[in-house]
């Protein structure tokens, strides 16, 4: 047990928890995107999807609690790592060079993370906690995203999610030990592909609804 706690407290332990929870979010986003694609099929298809999902009953509650604990771990440890990095380099560099291997995704990782947190809070208030039934959820999504302001917020948030995933995907596999010169370029390209699928897949929904 002591070993377990000290591993989690160590910097590799923290990175491992970021990786495992990050992988969980990639899984969630994949399922969420597939489900959301039913919005293109109209009210009948979307309502039937939501009905099937909610019919899972206690399983959904377990999944939601799992997601919530993953979110708490990812946010707390991510914030801690961000703070530790700031403290380790109290004097800011005058010139920020794009040193080898640094990408927009890696340089902005904590900031995109905080923006996603703000988006998810707004998103849950919009759709999860707003009063609705399985039958009225479709109308709720359409009336919300028909507003130009919400459409823009959602599209920008989806770009931010894509940027966060573009680095997170690669980074989590590196932490999990896939740090092999043969596989890393494949994983990097896969990370870019996954982030484009998330960005375009989620981002086009509000544009489609708005139009």
Q: Which two tokens stand for residue 21?
A: 């929870």
Task: Give the Cα-Cα-Cα angle 176, 199, 48 (nearest 5 degrees).
Answer: 100
Q: What is the size of the binding site for ligand HEM (CB under 6 A)?
A: 17
162 interacts with ligand HEM by CB under 6 A? no
| Non-local CB neighbours of 24 within 8 Å, separated by 6+ positions | 66, 67, 70
| C-alpha–C-alpha distance, residues 88 and 188, integer Å | 28
CB of 101 to ligand HEM, least distance (A): 26
Residue with the two structure tokens 């099929």: 41
The one among 127, 156, 179, 208 contacting ligand HEM by CB under 6 A? 127
> Which residue has 């208030």 as its token pair?
125
Q: Can residue 207 be called a binding residue for ligand HEM (CB under 6 A)?
A: no
Does 192 bind ligand HEM (CB under 6 A)? Our answer is no
Q: Give the DSSP letter of residue 128.
A: I
Per CB under 6 A, 161 contacts ligand HEM: yes
Helix (H) or strand (E) holding 150: helix 148-175
| Distance, C-alpha 58 to centroid of its chain | 24
Q: Is 120 in the site for ligand HEM (CB under 6 A)?
A: yes
Check binding of 128 to ligand HEM (CB under 6 A): yes
Closest CB 3 distance from ligand HEM, rounded Å: 33
Our measurement of the distance from residue 145's CA atom to the centroid of its chain's CA atoms, rounded to an integer in Å, reads 20
Q: Which of 17, 18, 49, 154 binds ligand HEM (CB under 6 A)?
A: 154
Within residues 61-90, the interface with ligand HEM by CB under 6 A covers: 64
Consecutive H or E run containing 33: helix 11-36
Minimum CB distance to ligand HEM, residue 102 (Å): 24
Can you tell me the distance from the alpha carbon of 176 to that of 171, in angstroms, rounded to the nearest whole number?
9
Tell which positions 44-63 bind ligand HEM, by CB under 6 A.
Answer: 50
Interface pick for ligand HEM out of 141, 151, 162, 194 (rule CB under 6 A): 141
By CB under 6 A, is residue 40 in contact with ligand HEM? no
Residue 36 as a binder of ligand HEM (CB under 6 A): the answer is yes
38 Cβ contact partners less than 8 Å away, ≥ 6 residues apart: 45, 46, 48, 49
Least distance between ligand HEM and beta carbon 109 (Å)? 15
Give contact residues for ligand HEM (rule: CB under 6 A): 32, 36, 50, 64, 116, 120, 123-124, 127-128, 137, 141, 154, 161, 202, 205-206
């Amino acid at each position: 047990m002591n070993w377990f706690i000290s591993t989690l407290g160590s910097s590799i332990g923290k990175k491992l928890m970021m990786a495992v929870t990050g992988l969980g979010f990639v899984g969630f986003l994949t399922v969420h995107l597939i489900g959301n694609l039913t919005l293109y099929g109209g009210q009948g298809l979307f309502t039937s999807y939501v009905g099937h999902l909610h019919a899972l009953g206690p399983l959904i509650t377990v999944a939601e609690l799992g997601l919530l604990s993953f979110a708490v771990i990812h946010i707390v440890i991510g914030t801690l790592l961000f703070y530790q990095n700031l403290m380790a380099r109290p004097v800011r560099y005058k010139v920020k060079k794009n040193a080898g291997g640094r990408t927009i995704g890696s340089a902005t990782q904590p900031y995109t993370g905080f923006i996603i947190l703000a988006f998810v809070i707004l998103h849950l208030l919009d759709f999860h906690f707003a009063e609705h039934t399985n039958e009225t959820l479709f109308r709720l999504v359409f009336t919300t995203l028909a507003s130009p302001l919400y459409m823009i917020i959602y599209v920008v948030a989806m770009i931010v999610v894509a940027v966060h995933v573009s680095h997170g995907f690669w980074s989590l596999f590196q932490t999990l030990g896939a740090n092999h010169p043969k596989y890393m370029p494949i994983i990097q390209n896969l990370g870019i592909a996954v982030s484009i699928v998330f960005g375009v897949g989620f981002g086009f929904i509000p544009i489609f609804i708005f139009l």
